[in-house]
Chains A and B, each alone.
Chain A
Amino acid sequence: MNAFENPDLVRLLGGMVALLAIGTIAGQVLRRTARSESGQATVRNINDRMRAWWIMAAVFTVAIITGGIGSIVLFGLVSFLALREFVTLVASSRADHRTLVIAFFVFTPLQYVLVAVEWYGLFAILIPVYVFVLVPTTMVIVGETERFLERAATIQWGLMACVYCVSYAPALLLLDVEWDSPNALLLFFLVVVVQLSDVAQYVWGKTLGRHKIAPRVSPNKTWEGFVGGVLTATAVGAGLWWATPFDPLEAAGMAFVICLAGFAGGLTMAAIKRDRGVKDYGTLLPGHGGVLDRIDSLTFAAPLFFHLTRFFF
């Protein structure tokens, strides 16, 4: 079925483009009017997000037009780029070269092939089971024992976060949910709620933020931002119930869980960056990267949303 025949979807896409257009114009106006140094930085941050969202919106539209395979390819690419940033930052042992070759060129594509052929049984265990066994095995064959567990765990974790978790987003399209609309709406719901929660937390934190929530991990995150952002995104999620298989209360519950998971994911990635003394993956090398910065909250939210939906609907 052509997804564009679904009026809900057309309405959502139209709404999304309209919101982005308003946001972009507002961002450009603010860019000219913001006076202070920190005000400029805030506006720049918002405008950066806006740019990323336009790309996401385009990606999403392409995903729907191509009926699934497009989103699988695109999220596969996102995983590849995210893993690349992760490995550049944390996995630096010369001895792990071949293990990384396998991670990038065998397991990352294979995970998305499993989504494409709808082999759920293997999709769900490829990285937790087979990679878990094969990564240390490859490393043992190479034979370097220095920091062995740390190196194995790092590669395993990178594949879990950047590939396994992210692949749950396009896997939503294959879920067998009892409703008449295309599952692309589920993907839309997930991405919109996660991203909105991110930016709402940022905005609430900037305007009302007083009490730091995790000062050692991320000094910008405050309780006020967290509560305001999560409530805002939960409310918007509930308001989108008509485009989901959920009733309003269920939609609110789902959005709430997605927000919490997204928050945890963002903080976790921030902790990894802090440990390595980097602020953003995008600043590893100027002008490059930053994919992981945009999808950090998605990594924890996508698998939870998938499994909750799969279990209850």
Chain B
Amino acid sequence: MTAGLLAYVARAVSGASVRFTAGLPGPGQRVFFANHCSHLDFLVIWSSLPPVVRAATRPVAAAEYWLRGRLRRHLAANVFRAVLIDRGAGGREAVARLSAALAEGDSLILFPEGTRGEGPHVAPFKSGLFHLAQERPGLELVPVHLENLNRVLPKGEAMPVPVMSRVSFGAPLRLEPGEDKDAFLERTRAAVVGLAA
């Protein structure tokens, strides 16, 4: 209930319009990966998903932010069921946590840039997405592009401004056989950037 209400509020506050370029995602496990520009990002993606998909989708978020304070802890643990990553602990540990979550059958929302950017530029992806894809070769990876959310709620601001924004879901990708890390990370990044048009 809280989740549904929050999803509604997130949509209303961000005012984001939603576009599925490859059709609405049905049931099934996948990883949504997106450019990261504001604290609203995962909420907006999560709330854009059909309720059935949303219920089985967990955001990946920084532990140091979501473990601070009681409310955040509650939201992260019970409402979003976030997979919390300790950014200081290194990539191997993070990938292990994500794998464990996937093993339980859930889908994930992931921001491969690792941190929020200042503008519309999409930074190079960190390697976590690649290692995850390597562990589960058949896994569907859905690129998501967030437009203007950095203007709705820039880094360091508490109040959103109702600038028009958009979240676009692209067609799913998979790790190609024999594809190396750099090529894969560039291809997935290009998929996100390509949704901007």
Give residues in A with beta carbon < 8 Å to B. Answer: 80, 84-85, 87-88, 92, 94, 97-98, 100-101, 104-105, 284-289
Contacts A/B (CB < 8 Å), 16 sampled: A84-B162, A84-B163, A85-B164, A87-B161, A87-B163, A88-B151, A92-B151, A94-B118, A97-B151, A97-B157, A97-B161, A101-B159, A105-B159, A285-B164, A286-B17, A287-B17
Instruction: Name B161's contact: one of A100, A285, A287, A288 (CB within 8 Å).
Output: A100
Contact with A along B144-164 (1 / 0, CB 8 A): 000110010010010101111
Cα distance A288–B164 when bound, in Å?
A: 8
Cα distance A285–B162 when bound, in Å?
A: 14
Does B15 interact with chain A (Cβ within 8 Å)?
Answer: yes
Report A240 CB to chain B, min CB distance, Å: 37
| Shortest 5 CB-CB contacts between residues of A and residues of B | A88-B164, A100-B161, A101-B159, A88-B163, A84-B162
Determine whether the beta carbon of A284 is less than 8 Å from that of B159: no
**Complex contacts, B17 vs chain A, CB 8 Å:** 285-288
Cα distance A286–B157 when bound, in Å?
A: 28
**Complex contacts, B161 vs chain A, CB 8 Å:** 87, 97, 100-101, 104
Instruction: Name A94's contact: one of B15, B154, B159, B166 (CB within 8 Å).
Output: B154
In the complex, the chain A residue whose C-beta lies closest to that of B17 is A288
**Complex contacts, B15 vs chain A, CB 8 Å:** 84
Report B148 CB to chain A, min CB distance, Å: 7
Report A273 CB to chain B, min CB distance, Å: 15
In the complex, the chain A residue whose C-beta lies closest to that of B156 is A97
Cα distance A88–B151 when bound, in Å?
A: 9
**Complex contacts, A92 vs chain B, CB 8 Å:** 151
Q: A-B contact count, CB below 8 Å?
A: 41
**Could you tell me which residues of chain B, from 4 to 22, have a CB within 8 Å of some CB in chain A?**
15, 17, 19
Q: A100-B161, A285-B17, A288-B164 are in contact. List 17 more A-B contacts (CB 8 A).
A: A84-B163, A87-B161, A87-B163, A88-B151, A88-B164, A92-B151, A94-B118, A97-B151, A97-B157, A98-B159, A101-B159, A104-B161, A104-B162, A105-B159, A285-B164, A286-B19, A288-B17
Cα distance A209–B151 when bound, in Å?
A: 42
Determine whether the beta carbon of B164 is less than 8 Å from that of A84: yes
**Complex contacts, A80 vs chain B, CB 8 Å:** 162
Instruction: Name B157's contact: one of A87, A98, A289 (CB within 8 Å).
Output: A98
Cα distance A34–B15 when bound, in Å?
A: 36
Report B149 CB to chain A, min CB distance, Å: 12
Cα distance A94–B15 when bound, in Å?
A: 19
Instruction: Name A97's contact: one of B119, B154, B164, B166 (CB within 8 Å).
Output: B154
In the complex, the chain A residue whose C-beta lies closest to that of B160 is A101
Cα distance A226–B119 when bound, in Å?
A: 43
**Complex contacts, B159 vs chain A, CB 8 Å:** 98, 101, 105
In the complex, the chain B residue whose C-beta lies closest to that of A80 is B162
Report A99 CB to chain B, min CB distance, Å: 9
Cα distance A285–B161 when bound, in Å?
A: 17
Report A279 CB to chain B, min CB distance, Å: 16
Cα distance A286–B119 when bound, in Å?
A: 22
